[in-house]
Amino acid sequence: MDATQQHIDLTERYAAHNYHPLPVVIASGEGAWVTDVDGRRYLDCLAGYSALNFGHCHPRLLARAERQLRTLTLTSRAFYNDQLGPFAEALSGLTGKSMMLPMNSGAEAVETALKLSRKWGYRVKGVPEGKARIVVMEGNFHGRTTTIVSFSNDVDARNDYAPFTPGFTMVKYGDVDALRGAMGPDVVAVLLEPIQGEGGVLIPPAGYLREVRALCDEHGALMVADEIQSGLARTGRTFACDHEDVVPDVYVLGKALGGGLYPVSAVAADADVLGVITPGTHGSTFGGNPLAAAIGHEVVAMLATGEFQQRSAELGERLDAGLRQSLGHGLEEVRSRGLWAGLDIDPTLMTGREFCERLMEQGVLAKEAHGQTVRLAPPLVATVEDIDVLIEACTTVAQH
């Protein structure tokens, strides 16, 4: 039995089966490439669902993390530490907001945004207690907590987890009229992904985000943008909302904020919103710890140069052009924004899972979204040659 099968058997025996991985066991990674336990190399085109925007083991991030590991890792927020303040200032500068609230996972950041929206609705907007409503989108993916799956329409995420948290109204993503019809005086926020990643890199119609912004302004509701996957240079801009020059009231950030090294997430907003959070009303033992803050600060400093936004935009154009050569030849649709693409596979040929299995045989790792859709999100440190490897692999699988 080879090492790959040994590790798969061990994992399947002792770890709960909440994932269905491809049969590859990764042992090391550098940049955009990983190596499995049997020495085979693969181009990583999932990048930890955008958590690895800067690739595996980025030397600048490793150096910063190592320095902090040898100094101080955790104090809890019962005390101040010398890393959180500088990180908070830097992230506020990147987002253009006056405050941030640090957490750990993306789901925790979304939960924070939900609590923040409701409290703001009661304390500032004046919605009667217990009546606050948040409008969400069909096909959303914001995490897997009980409250978050309460407003998911993914049956796998919802089944057997009832009773669900009330207070959410779901509308069709990208449909301005549907959103307009759902607004009202009890709506405290509209929560959406500027691009739905888990849905298959679904990009809303041009102008949609501007319409959402206008409707939120008209009805006195917060626009909450979940940029956990789409933000931090993935789409060729710092935030996906930037493509329409839209500034939400609340940014929800995670994944790449931890540099692929550590769970780091945050909510960023102005003081008239985040100011409703007071001591004892929300918290986290690890949120804002020195190690997380040091890594997050370094990520923000790397993004401040604009290098990764530019790389994503330029490499994304090359990827999009290369993938479109297979339209009508195995691919039914290609959607891309920056270095992020969703491919709809011809169902008469294979499923999305089968497409990913064949990509793996070509030395490329990717993940299907729903049925016939495959997501591609190579690290932003990928080279032109790496992108060409990805294009060639997709072309080979789609057309042969």
Listed residue (60, 137, 50, 7) closest to 295, CA to CA: 60
Task: Write the CB contacts of 338 (distance below 8 Å, at least 6 apart in sequence).
Answer: 233, 234, 235, 236, 237, 312, 313, 316
Environment class of residue 337 by beta-carbon count within 10 Å: exposed (0-12), middle (13-18) or buried (19+)?
buried
Environment class of residue 206 by beta-carbon count within 10 Å: exposed (0-12), middle (13-18) or buried (19+)?
exposed
Listed residue (302, 267, 292) closest to 84, CA to CA: 292
Chain-centre distance for alpha carbon 369: 14
Which residues are 171's β-sheet partners? Answer: 137
Tell me, yes or no, if 151 is annotated catalytic: no
DSSP H helices in 275-383: 290-303, 307-324, 352-361
Tell me, yes or no, if 186 is annotated catalytic: no
Task: Write the CB contacts of 389 (distance below 8 Å, at least 6 apart in sequence).
Answer: 43, 363, 364
User: Could you say which of 36, 44, 119, 141 is catalytic?
Assistant: 141
Tell me, yes or no, if 172 is annotated catalytic: no
Structure token digits, residue 177? 């009229």
Helix, strand, or coil (residue 317): helix
User: Could you say which of 226, 249, 344, 386 is catalytic?
Assistant: 226
Give, for 112, the enclosing helix (H) or strand (E): helix 106-120
Listed residue (76, 85, 67, 91) closest to 287, CA to CA: 76
Task: Write the CB contacts of 351 (distance below 8 Å, at least 6 apart in sequence).
Answer: 345, 368, 371, 372
Residue 251 contacts residue 225 (beta carbons within 8 Å)? yes
User: Could you say which of 97, 119, 125, 255 is catalytic?
Assistant: 255
**DSSP output for 14-58:** HS-------S--EEEEEBTEEEETTS-EEEESSGGGGTTTT-BT-
Give me the active site residues, please. Answer: 141, 226, 255
